[in-house]
Amino acid sequence: MKVQIEIDCTPQEAREFMGLPDVAQANDMYVQAMTKAMKGATNPEQLQAFAKQLAPMGQFGLKMFQNFVEGSMAAGAGGSKKKD
């Protein structure tokens, strides 16, 4: 026998149903702290040093962050020029 149940709810409703805490305020504080820290970084080396301090996923997380920074720099260097 196979039973399939589909529940349509918001993330907030799902958290409440499963008894999980609402971490929206903690998330907002984390995002504000990250934004403040990033404003002080003027080059990729500073961003990389900052990422090493946080590194929630160790080397893998650091590599993802480094790729993100390098990709952003490459996109910024290219500007919004259209290729014909």
Predicted pLDDT at 70: 79
**Residue 6 confidence (pLDDT) above 80:** yes
* Residue 84 pLDDT level (bands cut at 50, 70, 90): very low
Domain boundaries, the chain: 43-77
Q: Tell me which DSSP letter residue 3 carries.
A: -
Query: Higher confidence at residue 77 or residue 10?
Result: 10
14-70 residue pLDDT tens = 888 888 888 888 888 888 877 777 776 677 777 777 767 766 666 676 677 777 777
pLDDT for the residue 3: 94
Q: How far is CA 21 from CA 1, 13, 18, 30, in A?
A: 35, 11, 9, 16
pLDDT value at 76 more than 60: yes
The better pLDDT of the pair 42, 82 is held by 42
CA dihedral 10, 15, 21, 22 (to 10 degrees): 0
